[in-house]
Chain A
Amino acid sequence: MRALLSGNEAFARGAYEASVRFATGYPGTPSTEILETLAAGGDVETHWAVNEKTALDIGMGVSLSGKRALVTMKHVGLNVASDTFMVLPYAGCLGGLVILSADDPGMHSSQNEQDNRYYARFAKVPLLEPVDPQEAKDFVRTAFEISERFETPVLLRSTTRISHAKGVVKLGEPVPGPDRTYTTDIPRFLVPPFARRRRPTVEERLARLRGYSETFPMNRVEEGDPSVGVIASGVAYQYAREILPEATFLRLGMSFPFPAELARSFCRRFETVTVIEEGEPFVEEQLRILGITNIRGKDTVPLMGELNPEILAEAILGEAPPAGFETEIPIPPRPPLFCLGCPHRAVFYVLKTLMKQDVVALGDIGCYTLGGLPPYSSMQTSFCMGASVGNAVGFWEGNREDGGKKAVGIIGDGTFLHGGIPGLIDMVYRGSGTTLVICDNSTTGMTGQQENAASGRAIGGEAAPRIDLARLVEAIGVTDVRTVDPYDVKRLRRTLVSAIRNPGPSVVIARHPCLRIPGEREKIRPPIAFEAEACNLCKLCHELGCPAITWRDGEGPEIDALQCVGCEMCTAVCHPDALHPAEVAP
């Protein structure tokens, strides 16, 4: 049977066919849909973990129980899980353990470009890189077989154009995994006291994996023009096939451990071999370590950003891509915006007004990163998951003696659970005069409204125990905890001002559910009515940056009734009361 599947759907199908016992991970573009697809299928137990490290710890626990586990995350998620990831090869796994990391070259929805193939070399675990959805599916099972045969975790690496590109996949049937039984083996699994004894195991395994890589069927030569040699992996292989269709290819499905002899004999056949890989010179470096010099790689193929056929055509064939028409006709951009009725809008609108009072908002990772862009520009930093809390504590330390700027941390509910809690403990333990605003929209919004531990729902939507954020924060020791609905903009402002004045630690939970959560959209209210005679043309409603409000000079706002969701944030900022909820319109 054939089906049109995205890479992520294919990974999920592969997990189903590999009879994975448990799949867990943390949402992150471009990896999110793998677990969602598995959850929707209902054949594999799935769980959104609180972060990537707990996900990998859970995955290792499943492996210790003798069963197969899949752990999914985006590239930066592996940084969070790296503490676990780096030590696992010492113990090795019992049941198959596959870590699926999806890189985001070009940073469509990420804070950095990070080529996670290096993690395979760093931790000394095997690395598989599929080139299309068919291989995405097939490699999951292969990865489990390698994992069990060599007793090692396997890194299965995807990228945006593997995960989010659909292609035709031949489906298979589930094959049971070789369940094993846990037996006490303290010298193996109690790593620190026995680490020295286990250290050679890592190298011995790696040597055996090197041999395996030489004959791995998806490390293979595809014959073509005997004068043009190309080495490629991942989606870059597909682009290379378009640009150099006649070439002879060495296609690497397993680029670590590196198939040295295969590569050496391939390179001997050509005057020059072109190495085409997206991201860092991972393959190229391994060739150079082998003393192979008749190659061209990152001196030709761009290091930064995503590759695509036209970039490769320019780099290799010198053919420039067609130019856009911007110089001939206006092509205005569509900058990213908060959605209609997004509760974050009010938070950044209010923070902007507080910037005049030396309030500096140190932010985090989520939809609310848009609060740092016009028209708000009121969230001034964002680095990585959970950083806002520690950043605010430290910024306060640096400013408190001279009574300078006031530090406010901004974090979402999912991000707070993921990486913000230890920072809040620091805030309390240090007695920091910092305010943390938790923008609680009751979902993991940016990746597409995934459930989290504070949403009261498990993956798939069924009811689950709900972590009460206010009680959690109180339990940590914050005595000044206030919860406010950001739609009530005036009260939100009063609450924030009062919390910031508090010389000790304070937390404001700005809670309103994301309108994209299924069911929330149905609660939208009638469009806001505008009373032109009352308008003083102050433009404050326009400053909200609401997509449903268009400003007309000299006339005031125009409310697009088709778009307006009746959130009433604009009525709260309108001093002359020219904007009203529809039911009380004059």
Chain B
Amino acid sequence: MQATSDEALIGRIAAGDKLAMHLLFARHHVRVYRFVLRLVRDESLAEDLISDVFLDVWRQASRFERRSSVGTWLLAIGRHKALSALRKRPGQTLDEERTAAIEDPADDPEIAVQKKDKSEILRKCLNGLSAEHREIIDLVYYHERSVDEVAGIVGIPANTVKTRMFYARKRLSELLKAAGLDRGWP
């Protein structure tokens, strides 16, 4: 049996079919939630934002133009909602990094590496990146978006997407080095 395509569900949602809305929500809400949560770092806010994302889908389904996949469209709406929510919170910016969470002043780098395994340090450093860098790494690695899809979601040219990803990875290497893990790159 073949599952109903996302595009077909959007067509049914445009006609007011609530069951189709349930299906689309069940299919995508966890990924959209994780994407938004990584940006806003607040579970309760992320939950509110994903219901807002799907409410937008309910209201605007008839305007979906199929220029991108439904998954990409949902991430783009989620990103817009997350950034709007962040702007309303004073003192929080996209460039903010959490380096303090990565460095452990009690240990020198060698001891830190012995204490923690490499993948744990890597995950900690991924978490310590700025929202702008976290976002692009998540979109490419976890949400499996192509260069053009990331460009559409973030609203930047394709070449800038590649450059930004490169520099996000470069920054990750710097954080890893600071945490005692020199990868020999860049």
Do these two chains really belong together in a complex? no
Chain B interfacial positions (CB closer than 8 Å to A): none
